[in-house]
Amino acid sequence: MTARFFLQAALLLALLSSSPNNAAEAAGKPPRPTRKERKVEAREKAVKFANMKAAGQDQVSMTKEAAELRSYELRKKKKKGLLKRKDASLAQVLFPGASPEEYQPHEPVPAFVELVESKKTQLPFEFYDLPTCPEPAEKIQKRFRQRRNLGSRLMGHKLQMAPYNFRSKVSKDCTPLCVVEVGGKKLRWLRKLVDRQYRVHITLDQLPVLMRSKELNYAVRGYPVGFKAPPSYTGLKEDEFYLYNHLKFTITYREEPNEFEGTRITSFDVHPVSITHQFSDEKVDLETNLEAANKKDGWSTCTEGESPVNEPETYLALRSGSTGESMKILYSYEVHWQESDIPWADRWDVYLVGSPDDEIHYFAIVNSLMIVVFLTGAVATIMIRTLKKDIAGYNEMQTLEEAQEETG
């Protein structure tokens, strides 16, 4: 009877172990690779991507080769499940249940500004605290208002619309945005922001803006308010501070008419430029939206077909006039839409590969857990000692009462 039971159990296990391959064969699917085949495949991939790195292939551009290299570097993070981990995209791991947004041609795509922060100081500022263009009207903000997540609510962050106008698949040449007058304390404060390396953060379709360089193989979130040049570069007696007042936005998108309608945004990049714009003779009201007022003519350094570039001769220095008068700043921007083959699910890969300081969060988490464990152990030790004394006291009282009852 016992031998028969063990024979039936062995047959059942054999059937269970062979059932996945049989089911795959019945469904017309290729059988699962063995462990040896998986090792050989992993070794071939390691050699392939090592050769790509040796050949100088970057990891941050939007090319097919760079996307494959990013996916290989993040292969351990692209696993889903606890016991039986399956391959998944980074969007499924980080944002389970999130669905892509499709935009029709010429449809407005709202962009939102976040806090202006610096790694050198813990004091953040709101974007519209800076001497910049005014925020859109309340009517427009209500139309594109988004719900804040739990982290934004706990930190007290307020989502505010950016002053830039983005429309799906609509590229723009240099577009004047507004003129701002800065002087006195405001000018000195702006120089301090540049000196302390404050960065501006903008999001479009939930994507933070990136500054990336294919040559240097880096990608960093946000863009700096400006930059500082030492006396050895400028020839002056002290450091000179320059402001980035022109932004070149590059938005890549993907279209698959057989799978979905419209376009899906896959990246959001910016290239800041510092340029001293030539003002027109026409009088312009300060802090007004020139794009909304359709005042685009008269700017010799910002016209259709022109794209400002960073040149030392035209940098915008943050200093007042010779007689102490305030300086006028013309803010401008341009937008370029480019089609890409990168799928929407892989658009977050560059944020983990391109930022070398993201691993710091792991140390912060471990540090917090160690503090929690230490405090929990200290509180538990104090409570155990207190309860131990109380229990010992109760036991002594009970012993005395029993002794009195026995002696009468």
Q: Is the pLDDT of residue 29 over 60?
A: no
Helix (H) or strand (E) holding 25: helix 2-26
Only one residue has tokens 């320059």, namely: 242
Choice among 81-95, 121-135, 250-264, 297-311 with the minimum mean pLDDT: 81-95
Q: Residue 80 to residues 35, 36, 94, 160: CA-CA distances in angstroms? A: 20, 23, 10, 34
Helix (H) or strand (E) holding 77: none
Q: How confident is the model at residue 370 (pLDDT cuts 50, 70, 90)?
A: very high
**What is the pLDDT at residue 146?**
67
Q: Are 217 and 355 in contact (CB under 8 A)?
A: no
**What is the pLDDT at residue 47?**
85
Q: What is the mean pLDDT of residues 348-368?
A: 70
Pure H helices in 179-230: 185-195
Q: How confident is the model at residue 66 (pLDDT cuts 50, 70, 90)?
A: confident
Q: Which long-range contacts (CB under 8 A, 24 or more apart) does 142-146 make?
A: 144/108, 144/110, 146/110, 146/112
Residues paired with 213 in a beta bridge: 218
Q: What is the mean pLDDT of residues 254-283?
A: 86
pTM of the model: 0.75
Rounded CA-CA distance 50/56 in Å is 10
Handedness of CA 47, 53, 55, 59 (dihedral sign): positive
| β-pair type (199-200, 223-224) | antiparallel
Rounded CA-CA distance 262/253 in Å is 10
The pLDDT tens digits for 82-137 are 555 666 666 666 666 567 889 999 999 999 998 899 988 888 899 999 999 888 87
Rounded CA-CA distance 126/139 in Å is 21
Query: By percentage, how much of the chain surpasses pLDDT 90?
Result: 27
